[in-house]
């Protein structure tokens, strides 16, 4: 699409090698004439694929099955960031992507965090004594688990694609509208499915479900903070065990991409069931569906059972 830009120093050499040697379409204006997009992680990749349709060629920087929080980029991926017509990312979520955008894609990146209206912080998530101290000021990045925020991000992606590819702006707008319709339907299903639940406390592995909990009247009690790799301290574990007992939560939710050991232990200690709730940070063969809407519908069924909703 766009004329090749000046590359940052890190990517220039790699890009040269890639374009001369492989011509695989990894990065750079595709021969197909499609808009090439580097999406930072799965929900952004899915939104771009839906809103861009056949007009875009999107690749995720986070490989399927990889946990996106601690993503590191290899030189080839940095080149992809440098050469893509558009990079769609969420500032503050993946430091390696932030760095690559700063050095390689300053003028070709869309940060979705404004459209996602990130307004929860670690401190809001639970009244948590156990949130990691330096997590406190950090914004909760997991906007996509609230379908209506996700729809807003779809609109922002549509608008940005329209700016970069004005000839097809109307198509992007109409695709974004269809994306919103899907999300609105999901939102309605969640709203009615979670309206009458005996258990309001939602005990999750990492604090990915804050926006979802808030949208549908639940209170998240997470075992770790906003990132899944932080091991809870013994004090934090005692605290969450106590909360689970007091709240009468019947289910502790583990995740697909991270170890379920801690959740399993907590469930055993408190007599709660163990179920899997998918934060949709990546799709794998272990996922309960092939894409965002199907996994979200599976999440809803899991929640209806786990929170004892009628």
Query: Which residues sit at the interface with Zn ion, rule CB under 5 A?
Result: 208
Instruction: Give the DSSP H or E segment for 276.
Output: strand 273-276
CB of 173 to Zn ion, least distance (A): 30
CB of 141 to Zn ion, least distance (A): 7
Tokens of residue 183, six digits: 């999300």
Q: Which is nearer to Zn ion, 208 or 303 (CB)?
A: 208
CB of 93 to Zn ion, least distance (A): 8
Q: Which is nearer to Zn ion, 208 or 267 (CB)?
A: 208
CB of 177 to Zn ion, least distance (A): 28
Q: Which is nearer to Zn ion, 195 or 229 (CB)?
A: 229
CB of 190 to Zn ion, least distance (A): 19
Residue 186's contacts (CB-CB under 8 Å, 6 or more residues apart) are 147, 293, 296, 297
For 195, phi then psi, to 5°, come to -70, -45
List the one residue out of 278, 286, 77, 24 whose CA is nearest residue 89: 77
Query: Using CB atoms, what's the residue nearest to Zn ion?
Result: 208
- Long-range CB contacts (< 8 A, 24+ apart) of 214-222? 214/120, 214/146, 215/146, 215/148, 215/187, 215/190, 216/190, 216/191, 218/194, 218/307, 219/126, 220/125, 220/126, 221/126, 221/247, 221/249, 222/125, 222/126, 222/128
Q: Which is nearer to Zn ion, 88 or 208 (CB)?
A: 208
Q: Which is nearer to Zn ion, 11 or 208 (CB)?
A: 208
Contact 91, 100 (CB under 8 A): no
CB of 140 to Zn ion, least distance (A): 9
Q: Which is nearer to Zn ion, 122 or 208 (CB)?
A: 208
């Amino acid at each position: 699409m766009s004329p090749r830009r000046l590359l940052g120093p890190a990517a220039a050499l790699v890009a040269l090698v890639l374009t001369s040697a492989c011509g695989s379409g990894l990065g750079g204006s595709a021969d197909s004439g499609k808009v090439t997009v580097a999406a930072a992680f799965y929900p952004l990749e899915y939104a771009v694929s839906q809103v861009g349709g056949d007009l875009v060629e999107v690749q995720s920087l986070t490989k399927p099955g990889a946990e996106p929080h601690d993503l590191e980029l290899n030189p080839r991926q940095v080149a992809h960031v440098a050469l893509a017509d558009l990079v769609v990312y969420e500032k503050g979520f993946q430091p390696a992507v932030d760095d690559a955008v700063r050095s390689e894609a300053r003028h070709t990146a869309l940060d979705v965090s404004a459209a996602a209206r990130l307004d929860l912080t670690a401190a809001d998530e639970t009244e948590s004594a156990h949130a990691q101290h330096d997590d406190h000021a950090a914004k909760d990045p997991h906007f996509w688990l609230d379908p209506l925020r996700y729809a807003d991000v779809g609109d922002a992606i549509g608008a940005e694609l329209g700016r970069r590819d004005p000839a097809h702006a109307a198509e992007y707008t109409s695709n974004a509208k269809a994306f919103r319709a899907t999300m609105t339907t999901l939102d309605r299903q969640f709203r009615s499915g979670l309206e009458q639940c005996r258990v309001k406390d939602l005990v999750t592995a990492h604090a990915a479900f804050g926006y979802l909990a808030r949208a549908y009247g639940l209170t998240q009690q997470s075992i770790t903070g906003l990132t899944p790799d932080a091991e809870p301290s013994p004090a934090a574990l005692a605290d969450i065990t106590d909360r689970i007992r007091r709240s009468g939560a019947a289910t502790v939710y583990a995740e697909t991409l991270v170890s379920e050991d801690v959740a399993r232990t907590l469930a055993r200690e408190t007599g709660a069931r163990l179920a899997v709730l998918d934060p949709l940070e990546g799709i794998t063969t272990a996922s309960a569906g092939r894409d965002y809407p199907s996994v979200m519908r599976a999440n809803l069924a899991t929640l209806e059972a786990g929170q004892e909703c009628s």
